[in-house]
C-alpha cells in the first residue's frame, strides 16, 4: 500500500486525516495510562529506601522526557517551515508548544512533590530540575513571541528562528547547569542506587508511551483549530460539514 505522504502535507487533506486519527490516539493513550498506573501501583514493589514515595516517578520521568522530546520535535517542525516554507509544519510547531510547556510544568511540579519527602524542601536546585525550569522558560518564550506578532507569517518564522537558537543552546545550558550543580555540591535526585525493578521500568515506559500518544492527540486537535483559523477565507473550509452546519 503506497501512501502518498505528500498528499497530507497540505492543510486541506491533513485536516481530515487528523480528525480521523485523534480518537485512536486519545483512546490508546487512556488505556495505556490505566495499564501503567496499575503496574506502577499494584505490581511494582515498595522501594527499600524511598518507600511509597518513589511512585511519583511514573509520571515525573515520562513528563520530563516528553517535554524535552516535544521541544526538539517542535523546533524540527519550525525549522521545516522556515526552510521549506511549508505552512503546515509551522502550524504543527505552534500546536505542540503549549503541550510541551505543560509537560515541563508537570515535570517541575511532580519533581517538587517528590523532593519534599525526599529532601524536606519543595524545591532543590538539582541540575535536571533547573534545566527543566529553563526549558519551560524557552517554551514560554516561543509561545510569547508567536503571540506577540500579528502577521502569521512573520510570527511563524520569528518563532522558528527562536526555537532553533533555543535547541542549539539546550546542550550548552544543560552542560553548564550540570557543572554549576556539581560545583556547588548540589543534590542529585537519584534512585535508590540499585537498578530498577522490572515492573517499575515497565510502568514508566508504558506511561511514557501513553503521554506521547496523548501529546499527539492534543497537538492534532490544536492544529485543526489553527488550520480553521488560518484558512478561514478558503472555499474548502466553507464546504466543511461542521462549518455548513
Partner 1 sequence: MKKSSLLDLLVLVIRRDLVLAMRRRADVLTTLIFFVMVVSLFPLGVGPEMAMLRKMAAGVLWVAALLSSMLSLGRLFSADYLDGTLEQMMLAPQSLSMLVLGKMVAHWMVSGLPLVLMAPVLGLQFDMSVEALGVLILGLLLGSPVLSMIGAIGAALTLGLRGGGVLLSLLVLPLTIPVLIFGTGAVEAISSGLDITSHLSFLGALLLLALVFTPWVTAQALRISME
Partner 2 sequence: MSLDIWMRENPLTYIWLGSYAVAFLIFAVEVAMVRHKRKITLQQVRLLCNAGDDE
Map grid coordinates 556539581 to a residue: 182
- Binding partner of 99, given partner 2, partner 1, none, CB within 5-8 angstroms per partner class: partner 2
- Binding partner of 60, given partner 2, partner 1, none, CB within 5-8 angstroms per partner class: partner 2
| Interaction of residue 161 with partner 1, rule CB under 8 A | yes
| Interaction of residue 162 with partner 1, rule CB under 8 A | yes
- Binding partner of 162, given partner 2, partner 1, none, CB within 5-8 angstroms per partner class: partner 1
| Interaction of residue 232 with partner 1, rule CB under 8 A | no
Map grid coordinates 545550558 to a residue: 173
| Interaction of residue 176 with partner 1, rule CB under 8 A | yes
Exposed (0-12), middle (13-18) or buried (19+): which is 184, by Cβ within 10 Å?
A: exposed
How far, in Å, CA of 94 to CA of 223, rounded?
Answer: 8
C-alpha triplet 15, 19, 21: angle, nearest 5°: 120
- Binding partner of 238, given partner 2, partner 1, none, CB within 5-8 angstroms per partner class: partner 2
Would you say 36 and 206 are in contact if contact means Cβ atoms under 8 Å apart? yes
| Interaction of residue 238 with partner 1, rule CB under 8 A | no
| Interaction of residue 152 with partner 1, rule CB under 8 A | no
| Interaction of residue 148 with partner 1, rule CB under 8 A | yes
Nearer to partner 2, 185 or 233 (CB): 233
Would you say 201 and 194 are in contact if contact means Cβ atoms under 8 Å apart? no
| Interaction of residue 84 with partner 1, rule CB under 8 A | no
- Dihedral sign of CA atoms 219, 221, 222, 228 in order: positive
C-alpha triplet 128, 173, 59: angle, nearest 5°: 25
Nearer to partner 2, 174 or 214 (CB): 214
Residues in the chain: 245
Binding site for partner 1 (CB under 8 A): 134, 137-138, 140-141, 144-145, 148-149, 153-154, 157-158, 161-162, 165-166, 169, 172-173, 175-177, 179-180, 183
Amino acid at each position: 500500500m503506497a501512501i502518498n505522504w505528500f498528499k497530507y502535507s497540505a492543510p486541506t487533506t491533513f485536516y481530515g486525516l487528523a480528525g480521523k486519527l485523534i480518537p485512536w490516539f486519545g483512546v490508546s493513550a487512556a488505556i495505556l495510562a490505566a495499564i501503567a498506573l496499575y503496574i506502577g501501583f499494584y505490581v511494582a514493589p515498595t522501594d527499600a529506601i524511598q518507600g511509597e514515595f518513589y511512585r511519583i516517578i511514573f509520571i515525573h520521568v515520562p513528563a520530563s522526557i516528553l517535554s524535552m522530546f516535544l521541544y526538539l520535535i517542535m523546533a524540527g517542525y519550525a525549522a521545516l517551515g522556515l526552510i521549506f516554507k511549508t505552512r503546515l509544519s509551522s502550524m504543527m510547531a505552534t500546536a505542540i508548544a503549549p503541550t510541551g510547556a505543560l509537560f515541563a510544568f508537570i515535570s517541575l511540579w511532580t519533581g517538587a512533590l517528590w523532593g519534599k519527602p525526599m529532601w524536606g524542601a519543595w524545591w532543590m536546585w538539582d541540575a535536571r530540575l533547573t534545566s527543566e525550569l529553563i526549558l519551560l522558560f524557552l517554551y514560554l518564550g516561543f509561545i510569547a513571541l508567536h503571540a506577540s506578532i500579528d502577521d502569521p507569517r512573520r510570527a511563524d518564522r520569528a518563532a522558528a528562528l527562536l526555537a532553533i537558537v533555543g535547541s542549539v543552546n539546550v546542550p550548552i545550558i544543560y552542560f553548564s547547569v550540570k557543572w554549576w550543580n556539581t560545583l556547588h555540591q548540589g543534590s542529585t535526585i537519584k534512585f535508590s542506587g540499585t537498578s530498577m525493578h522490572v515492573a517499575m521500568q515497565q510502568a514508566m515506559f508504558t506511561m511514557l508511551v501513553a503521554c506521547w500518544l496523548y501529546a499527539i492527540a492534543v497537538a492534532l486537535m490544536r492544529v485543526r483549530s489553527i488550520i480553521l483559523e488560518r484558512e478561514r477565507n478558503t472555499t474548502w473550509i466553507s464546504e466543511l460539514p461542521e462549518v455548513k452546519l
